[in-house]
Every structure is written in C-alpha cells, then in structure tokens.
Structure 1
Amino acid sequence: MLLIHVGKDRYVFFTVVESHRRLELFCLSESGETLEAVPAKTEAKVKALKAKKAVLKGVHSQRKKKIRTSPTFRRPKTLRLRRQPKYPRKSAPRRNKYVIQTV
C-alpha cells in the first residue's frame, strides 16, 4: 500500500498488484474498494519516487572489523564431498585368503 500526495491536503492510496511479471497500480477510495487502474505515467512516477527514496536513504554496508583474538589462523570447516569414481581402480575385488573351511 502506498500513500501519495496529490494536491493541497489531498492524499490517494495506491495498491500494487503483481501480474504476469508486471506491476499494476490501482487507486483506492477511502473505504478501501478499488476504483480504477492507474495510467502507466503515474505508475512510472511512483516507481521513480521509490527509487529516489532508496537512493536518498543510501546503503549502509560498512561493518565493524572483527577483532581477532588468536594469532593462529584456523581454516573454516567447509563441505567436503566424498569421491564419486567413474570406474573401479582395481579390475576385480581382492580374494579373501582366510576361508573358514580350510582351517
């Protein structure tokens, strides 16, 4: 829901509906029911105002540097996958030398 200043002490509520990868803007009355679809020019203006607001707000991406408490670097434990061989490295499995019947 968006609230847009239209004129002197006049504001209009808009709602954004996503349909088929396209955002459609609808003007709402005070009671809340949909009045009519807003033309593309107004839609572009709303989009531009949102972009302007985002640019003015800025990105606060600087973070504090982590204080390292140990001089030893420990490599992080990551995912280590098992081997998936395409063919066996031996032609036949090893024959068991110990057979219970021979004892």
Structure 2
Amino acid sequence: MVDGPLRVVSSASVDRVRHQQVHGPEEVLVDQPTRFGTVFGLASLRQPMLGPGSFGHDGLGGHLAFAHPVSGIAFAFLTNRPIPGPTPHTRLWRLLLAVAAAL
C-alpha cells in the first residue's frame, strides 16, 4: 500500500479505496464519528492514525493497522489482551505519537 520494493497495489488503486464514501456516527461503535472509504476506515477524530491520507482499520480492544502513503509508513498494533472501552487507547496513542515524532 506504500511505496517500496514489496508494493503490490498500484497508486491508482490506493487512491480509489481512500476516497471517502461515508462520514458520520457509527451505530456499532456507539455513535462515534467515523469515516470510511471503499474498503478501509479513513483518518478521523476518533481514529486519526497519522493524519489525512491515512487509511486502515481498527479492531476491538485497541488493535489498529493502517498505511499512510504520504510518509511511506505502514503500521500495525495488535494486543495480546484487549483494552476495554472505546478508542482512543493510551498505549496506541503513545506509539502513534512516537511514530509521528520520528517522521
């Protein structure tokens, strides 16, 4: 999804899946505001990832995987114990802030 020697998805395809299709409250996530493209979730206030242009998906308990083509970052965080409650999760936010600071 990002540039590099292992890239298998074209830039045009990435741009298509990042095009916003839905924006608003999510009933499954207790009316939290979300944004979705064709396949993936998009950066939002609820899940900013690395900001505009990020796309991916979060999961129950604090999991998150996404790509940010502008920076060339692909990121995944999977926990071995779920974090209760809705996002944002402290551990995940600390990691995201460290990645953003390293850019």
Using structure 2 for the length normalisation, give the TM-score.
Answer: 0.25
User: Which of 1 and 2 has greater Rg?
Assistant: 1
Using structure 1 for the length normalisation, give the TM-score.
Answer: 0.25
Quick one: higher RCO (CA 8 Å, sep 6+), 1 or 2?
A: 2
